[in-house]
Chain A
């Protein structure tokens, strides 16, 4: 019992998150009955969840570092547009080269381009000391400007059939895109806990001056992390393309707010340093559950927006209250020690 209480006290934001998750599940069971949690609904939720989850991981990494990546959706859109151009044969004849190589080329280009975009973000932030918000804001304008310019706002669709199959196919009842998201999650969580760069991210987020004076090359780490965030955008772009069979430069504009919210809801502190990645994954499930519930309740997109915004504020309020309580407990403890 004591152990449980100790654990609860240590990671209270996780407790809030789990409570939240259970509350939504209960609310949905009460209003729709248990039969809504059948295989088809779960699978369709898993389809929709994958791209947001991957984007949220990228955002969470940047936030752990004490930064933010506003360009993540723009990078995903740019990468998906360019690789859509390759898939539909804008640059070379797809018939002549064959489907497998075309798809391979498209995937490679999407990944390389998005990593490059993320790397540019990292260079601007680390080497030129631009604050992350403004840096990624301007690269967002730039990247979406390129996407807008080359397409003129039109969508590109009609990909090879085997590519679509990846987006809509299932293995043993589990969507393939969801498996990709889980693999990314496992790799990231292992990397954060067991590699040098994983620890360095936490150090820099907690106190960047201190980490610099312990000999960590802050600039290198920042560049790496923003490149990884770009990579996440690239993976998400492939999932989006394969799932929806189209690429458009305005796609997923609402994802920006959602992704930031998932990270904060998942317990990542916006000022950096604190937070666990599994919280982000659970938060993604929460969001998707709510999204499904909103659709079933037939809310308008505007009231959805209102609820997202309210939730973000409430979460930050809860976090603040909890932090203050923890601080006061610490002060009381110190005073008690002094009295002895």
Chain B
């Protein structure tokens, strides 16, 4: 029970919801509690998990970013087209190109926010359409089918880390997507909890001015944070293309709200200064549970947003209300 006391209330609440949901679904349908479901869940949630780490870091620093899907598809798609044009089959180069593009675009975001001193939301909203428009003009919007994908994408898509046989004798396997996911989560945990930059990020989110006076270079920190989020978006872009196995470059844009929803459900404070990696992971798991298993309950997948909305509303209301009560005691009025 030591671990249970260590996590905060939001995470306990999420754990309970997920457990109850799993019990209900597995009672309705015996096929749910199998390794296949778990492996599918890991594979399909890989991209969102990576993106959510970037959003978490930005949100802890008191900002918000809605341009990361555009950054991810810019990086991934450009790198795919370059690899196709020059016949590059190295996985390293593919990731390197994508990450490089991600970093550049992320840093541009941060520089604009530093310069214009406006709500990051509005700035990243406009850069999202700028990036996406730029990509369609520079690289194009041609669909790439599964057979035309370069070898490294095919390899990434089909490679398995562990394989076992299921009840029907078919082979199922854990996708290699788990490796970059674990790496990104660990890197983010290390960044937030074990480095001075991490302390700066938390300080910035709590009080920007106080962090500046404490000696943190806030503008530089912001460039670092958005650059880091760009790196993650770049990695995600490649994984996304490998995961869908054929690319329609228009498809990823519009998913930013669901990623932000996962992070907010996980208990990250939208005002900044607070956020937990474990909570964010729980948020992503819940999202994909709804996404993949509503069908077992006899509901169509179109109800996913509805259930996400309910959990999201409940989560933000409870966290913000506690904060409000605390603030009122100290005569801080936030609205």
Contacts and interface: CB of A to CB of B under 8 A. Distances in A.
Interface in B286-335: 300, 302-310, 312-313, 316-317, 320-321, 323-324, 327, 333-335
A149 B264 contact: no
Given A133-B64, A313-B130, A139 B309 contact: yes
B260 interface: yes
Contact of A309 (B133, B136, B302, B304): B133
B183 to A, nearest CB: 29
Nearest to B300: A152
B312 A142 contact: yes
- Which of A153, A208, A270 has the largest count of B CB atoms less than 10 A from its CB? A270
B132 A148 contact: no
Given A253-B254, A308-B129, A320-B116, A137 B137 contact: no
Interface string A243-262: 00000000001000100110
Interface in B106-163: 112, 115-119, 121-123, 125-130, 132-134, 136-137, 141
A309 B129 contact: yes
B306 to A, nearest CB: 3
Given A257-B125, A303-B133, A306-B133, A141 B320 contact: no
B48 to A, nearest CB: 15
A85 B33 CA distance: 39
A128 B321 contact: yes
B167 to A, nearest CB: 32
B317 A305 contact: no
A129 B335 contact: yes
A171 to B, nearest CB: 37
A306 B321 contact: no
- Which of A129, A219, A264, A308 has the largest count of B CB atoms less than 10 A from its CB? A129
Contacts of A271: 118-119
Nearest to A315: B126
Nearest to A135: B316
Nearest to A310: B130
B228 to A, nearest CB: 22
A142 B302 contact: no
A134 interface: yes
B302 A152 contact: yes
B257 interface: yes
Contact of A302 (B132, B257, B261): B132
A313 B321 contact: no
Nearest to A141: B309
Contacts of B300: 149, 152
Contacts of A261: 126
A141 B123 contact: no
- Which of B127, B133, B303, B304 has the largest count of A CB atoms less than 10 A from its CB? B133
A130 B316 CA distance: 7
Nearest to B136: A302
A272 to B, nearest CB: 10
A306 B122 contact: no
A277 interface: no
Interface string A263-274: 010000011000
Contact of B130 (A148, A270, A306): A306
A267 B218 CA distance: 29
A49 B117 CA distance: 31
B271 interface: yes
Contacts of A264: 122
A130 B270 contact: yes
11 contacts: A134-B264, A141-B305, A142-B313, A145-B309, A146-B309, A149-B302, A257-B125, A271-B119, A312-B125, A313-B123, A316-B116
Given A128-B320, A264-B122, 19 more contacts: A128-B321, A129-B321, A130-B320, A133-B119, A137-B261, A140-B257, A141-B305, A148-B306, A152-B302, A153-B302, A208-B335, A257-B126, A304-B133, A305-B132, A306-B137, A308-B126, A310-B126, A316-B126, A320-B118
Interface of A: 68, 124-126, 128-131, 133-135, 137-146, 148-149, 151-153, 208-209, 212, 218-219, 222, 253, 257, 260-261, 264, 270-271, 300, 302-310, 312-313, 316-317, 320
Interface of B: 64, 112, 115-119, 121-123, 125-130, 132-134, 136-137, 141, 254, 257-258, 260-261, 264, 270-271, 300, 302-310, 312-313, 316-317, 320-321, 323-324, 327, 333-335
The 10 lowest CB-CB distance pairs between A and B, nearest first, are A306-B133, A142-B309, A145-B305, A145-B306, A309-B129, A302-B136, A309-B130, A129-B324, A312-B126, A134-B270
